[in-house]
A and B are shown apart, each in its own frame.
Chain A
Amino acid sequence: MNDEATRAYSYFPGCSVTATNRAYDISTRSVAGALGVELAELDDWNCCGATAYLPIREKRSFVLSARNLAIAEKQGRELATICNACYVVLRKTNKHLAEDPKLHEEVCQALAAGGMDYGGTVRVRHFLDIVVNDLGEEAIRSHVTRDLSGLKVACYSGCQLSRPFDDLDDPEYPELMGRLIGWLGAEAVPFPMSAKCCGGLAMTTRPEIGQTLTGKILKVAKQAGADCVTTCCPLCQINLEGYQGAVGAAIGADCSIPVLYFTQLMGSAFGLGQKELALKDSLTPVKALLAEKVGT
Chain B
Amino acid sequence: MTTAKAEELSRELLENVYELPHGEKINECIQCGTCSASCPSIAAMEYGPREIVASLRAGMLDRVLNSNTVWLCVSCYSCTIRCPAGIPFADVMYELKRLEVEKGLSKDSEGATMAKAFVETVDDHGRSVETKLLRKYFLRTNPFKALPQVPLAMKLFFRGRLEIFGRKIKGLENLHKMLAAIEENETK
Would B188 and A20 count as touching, CB distance under 8 A?
A: no
Please provide the chain B residues from 118 to 169 with a CB less than 8 Å away from any CB of chain A in the complex.
Answer: 118-119, 122, 125-130, 134, 137, 148-149, 152, 155-156, 159-163, 169
Please provide the chain A residues from 78 to 132 with a CB less than 8 Å away from any CB of chain B in the complex.
Answer: 95-96, 99-100, 106-107, 109-116
Known: A63-B182, A206-B72. Contact between A18 and B40, CB under 8 A? no
Please provide the chain A residues from 58 to 72 with a CB less than 8 Å away from any CB of chain B in the complex.
Answer: 58-60, 62-64, 67
**Cβ of A279 to closest chain B Cβ, rounded Å:** 11
Would B78 and A50 count as touching, CB distance under 8 A?
A: no
Give the contact stretch, choosing among B6-14, B53-61, B172-180: B172-180
Would A206 and B174 count as touching, CB distance under 8 A?
A: no
Would B179 and A60 count as touching, CB distance under 8 A?
A: yes
Residues of B within 8 A of A164 (CB): 77, 80-81, 88, 90
Which of B128, B134, B171 sits near A16, CB closer than 8 Å? B128
Would B101 and A114 count as touching, CB distance under 8 A?
A: no
Interface centre among B88, B110, B122 (most CB of A within 10 A): B122
CA distance in complex: A281, B171 (Å): 30
Would B127 and A114 count as touching, CB distance under 8 A?
A: no
Residues of A within 8 A of B137 (CB): 204-205
Would A243 and B152 count as touching, CB distance under 8 A?
A: yes
Would B74 and A110 count as touching, CB distance under 8 A?
A: no
Interface check B2, CB cutoff 8 A: no
CA distance in complex: A113, B184 (Å): 12
**Cβ of B43 to closest chain A Cβ, rounded Å:** 8
Would A19 and B188 count as touching, CB distance under 8 A?
A: no
**Cβ of B150 to closest chain A Cβ, rounded Å:** 12
Would A160 and B77 count as touching, CB distance under 8 A?
A: yes
CA distance in complex: A208, B40 (Å): 12
Interface check A54, CB cutoff 8 A: yes
Interface centre among B76, B114, B118, B177 (most CB of A within 10 A): B76
Interface check B30, CB cutoff 8 A: no
Interface check A267, CB cutoff 8 A: no
Interface check B98, CB cutoff 8 A: yes
Query: Mask for A240-270, Cβ within 8 A of B = 1, else 0?
Result: 0011001000000000000000000000000
Query: Mask for B32-55, Cβ within 8 A of A = 1, else 0?
Result: 000000001100100000000000
Residues of B within 8 A of A159 (CB): 74-78
Would B40 and A196 count as touching, CB distance under 8 A?
A: yes
**Cβ of A250 to closest chain B Cβ, rounded Å:** 11
Interface check B115, CB cutoff 8 A: yes
Which of A20, A200, A207 sits near B74, CB closer than 8 Å? A200
Interface check B28, CB cutoff 8 A: no
Please provide the chain B residues from 62 to 85 with a CB less than 8 Å away from any CB of chain A in the complex.
Answer: 71-72, 74-78, 80-81
Interface check A283, CB cutoff 8 A: yes
Known: A44-B169, A56-B98, A107-B182. Contact between A114 and B122, CB under 8 A? no
Interface check A149, CB cutoff 8 A: no
Interface check A166, CB cutoff 8 A: yes
Interface check A173, CB cutoff 8 A: no
Would B174 and A56 count as touching, CB distance under 8 A?
A: no
Q: Please, which residue of chain A has its CB at the minimum distance from the CB of B77?
A: A163
Residues of B within 8 A of A197 (CB): 40, 74, 76, 78
CA distance in complex: A95, B21 (Å): 8
CA distance in complex: A187, B77 (Å): 29
Which of A53, A111, A163 sits near B115, CB closer than 8 Å? A53
Residues of B within 8 A of A109 (CB): 181-182
Which of B81, B94, B116, B126 sits near A47, CB closer than 8 Å? B126
Residues of B within 8 A of A55 (CB): 93-94, 97-98, 101, 115
Interface check B170, CB cutoff 8 A: yes
Would B98 and A111 count as touching, CB distance under 8 A?
A: no
Q: Please, which residue of chain B has its CB at the minimum distance from the CB of A59?
A: B182
Residues of B within 8 A of A19 (CB): 130, 161-163
Besides the known contacts A15-B130, A59-B182, 17 further A-B residue pairs in the complex with CB atoms under 8 A apart: A16-B130, A45-B169, A47-B125, A50-B128, A53-B115, A55-B97, A56-B116, A113-B177, A114-B174, A114-B177, A163-B81, A164-B77, A164-B90, A204-B137, A206-B110, A209-B40, A283-B155
Q: List 29 A-B contacts (CB under 8 A).
A: A15-B130, A19-B162, A47-B122, A52-B114, A53-B115, A53-B118, A55-B98, A57-B187, A58-B94, A58-B98, A60-B179, A60-B182, A110-B182, A113-B180, A114-B175, A116-B174, A159-B74, A160-B75, A163-B76, A163-B78, A199-B41, A199-B74, A200-B75, A201-B111, A202-B74, A204-B134, A205-B110, A209-B41, A283-B152
